[in-house]
């Protein structure tokens, strides 16, 4: 843990998660573990996480955190556009958001989490991301959600051997 970049209780910016955020994230599902199949109450039906993540593509879950600001959401939208531009249909990006509707400006797929159940299970008190492999296991996670570490991971798994 980069202790020099960690605040004790509250984060003053999205680049430095608070200690509470780090602890919640540290106890959440980790790479190599199977994605939990969560269910929660939707508008007029029960929502199921696995229903949102169907098919043979990778799925990138972006969490703005419990107290997201407009600029945090803009940064996640930029990250999403970059992943989609580089990897196309190989990776489907989803914003896991609090509230009934996705935040203004979000144009991609969204998973509503009104009660905060998904955020809680994934330790997403602060901004973070999870990459889910096609086999339903977590391949990568990061807090805060940053393009650099995610791109380095994706470059390793999507690199084709020479020849």
Helix (H) or strand (E) run with residue 46 in it: strand 46-48
Indicate the domain borders of the chain.
Answer: 6-158
pTM of the model: 0.84
**DSSP strand pairing (39-41 vs 138-142):** unpaired
Which of 4-13, 18-27, 38-47, 54-63 has the largest mean confidence? 54-63
Tokens of 99: 């509230």
Backbone angles phi, psi at 128, to 5 degrees: -160, 175
Query: What distance lies between CA 9 and its chain's CA centroid?
Result: 22
Is the pLDDT at 5 greater than 80, yes or no? Answer: no
pLDDT digits (tens, 9 = 90+) for 39-89: 888 777 888 999 999 999 999 999 998 888 888 899 999 999 999 999 999
Q: How confident is the model at residue 19 (pLDDT cuts 50, 70, 90)?
A: low
Which position has the higher pLDDT, 101 or 134? 134
For the chain, the 3-state helix, strand and coil shares in percent, each to the nearest 5, are: 35, 25, 45
**Strand, helix or coil for residue 73:** helix
Phi-psi region of 123 (alpha: psi -120 to 50; beta: other; left: phi over 0): left
- CATH among 3.30.70.60, 3.40.30.10, 3.90.1150.10, 3.90.180.10 for 6-158: 3.40.30.10
Alpha-carbon span 160 to 116, nearest angstrom: 39
Is the pLDDT at 11 greater than 60, yes or no? Answer: no
pLDDT digits (tens, 9 = 90+) for 85-126: 999 999 999 999 988 888 888 999 999 998 899 999 999 988
Provide the pLDDT for residue 43. 72
Per-residue exposure over 146-155, b if at least 16 CB sit within 10 Å of its own CB, e if not: beeebeebbe
Extended strands (E) in 49-152: 58-63, 91-97, 109-112, 128-132, 138-142
């Amino acid at each position: 843990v980069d202790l020099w970049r960690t605040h004790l209780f509250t984060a003053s910016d999205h680049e430095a998660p608070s200690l509470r955020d780090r602890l919640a994230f540290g106890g959440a599902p980790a790479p190599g573990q199977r994605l939990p199949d969560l269910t929660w109450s939707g508008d007029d039906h029960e929502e199921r996480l696995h229903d949102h993540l169907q098919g043979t593509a990778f799925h990138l879950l972006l969490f703005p955190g419990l107290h997201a600001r407009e600029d945090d959401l803009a940064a996640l939208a930029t990250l999403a556009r970059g992943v989609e531009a580089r990897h196309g249909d190989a990776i489907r990006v989803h914003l896991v958001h609090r509230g009934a509707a996705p935040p203004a400006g979000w144009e991609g797929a969204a998973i509503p989490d009104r009660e905060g159940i998904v955020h809680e299970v994934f330790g997403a008190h602060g901004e973070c991301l999870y990459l889910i492999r096609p086999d339903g296991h977590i391949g990568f996670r990061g807090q805060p959600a940053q393009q650099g570490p995610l791109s380095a991971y994706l470059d390793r798994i999507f690199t084709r051997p020479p020849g």
